Chain A
Amino acid sequence: ETVMTQSPGTLSVSPGERATLSCRASQSVSSNLAWYQQKPGQSPSLLIYGASTRATGIPARFSGSGSGTEFTLTISSLQSEDFAVYYCQQYNNWPLTFGGGTKVEIK
C-alpha cells in the first residue's frame, strides 16, 4: 500500500499570507496525485489533479507541484474561505490512499 504523509498537521496562517502544504508518498505515484479541500460540515471538493492541474472553477491562488514522491500545494494569498482541511490522494496504485490531512487555521 502507498502511504501518503501530509505535513504539517496544522498550519496557522494570517489572511493574505502564503500557505505551503506538503504531501509525501511512500513510493512513486508519478504525477497521479489529487488535492481536496474540506470545510466543516461539508464533503471534500476537488482542487487539483495530475499534481498540478486546477479543477474547474478553482482560483489561480491555488497551485500544485511535484512528482514521484514529493508534492506541494501552495495557496498564494489566503482568503477567509480557504481556511479548511486539505487532503492529498494518490491514484497511481491500488488501493487508492489519502494523506491524513492538513488543517489550515487562522493565525
Chain B
Amino acid sequence: DVQLVESGGGLVQPGGSLRLSCAASGFTFSSYNMNWVRQVPGKGLEWLSYISSSSSSINYADSVRGRFTISRDNAKNSVYLQMNDLRAEDTAVYYCARDFCSGGRCYEWFDPWGQGTLVTVSS
C-alpha cells in the first residue's frame, strides 16, 4: 500500500526550530514530487512547500519562505521540512502529500496524504 508517515512534531518555544520527516513506502519515491500542507486545528488547509522528484525545483508559500526549508533524500524515501524561527501562528497539524505523476508528467493535486504531525509553538 502507498503510505506516508510524518514524524517530528511536538512542543517548541517561539523562535525555536523543528525538523519534520515524512517516510514514504509502497511506491517509487524518487519519481514523485512531494509537498507539505498544514492545518490549524479546526481551520482550513494551507499549502506550504513543494519539492520536485530530483530536488531541482522548490517552491514555498510566502508565509514560510525564508523560515522553512524543504528537502528530500531519495535513498531514504523521505522528505523533510526544516522549520526555523517558529511562531505561535505556525501551530498546526503538518501533512506531507504526494503529487500525482503519470507518463512522465506530474500534477499538483495531492494523493495520498500522511496522517499528519502536530506542531505546537508555545512558551
- Interface residues, chain A, with chain B CB atoms under 8 Å away: 1, 32, 34, 36, 43-46, 49, 55, 87, 89, 91, 94-101
Contact = CB atoms under 8 A, between A and B. Distances in A.
Contacts of B45: 36, 44, 87, 89, 98, 101
Which A-B residue pairs are the 6 nearest by beta carbons?
Answer: A91-B108, A34-B109, A46-B111, A43-B113, A96-B47, A98-B45
Interface residues of A: mostly helix, strand, loop or mixed? loop
A96 B116 CA distance: 19
Contacts of A91: 107-109
Interface residues of B, number: 22
Interface in B48-75: 50, 59-62
A98 B62 contact: no
A39 B39 CA distance: 14
B32 interface: no
A45 B116 CA distance: 13
A67 to B, nearest CB: 16
Contact of B116 (A36, A43, A87): A43
Contacts of B115: 43
Contacts of B107: 32, 49, 91
Contacts of A98: 44-47
A46 B110 contact: yes
A72 to B, nearest CB: 17
Contacts of A43: 95, 112-116
Nearest to A43: B113
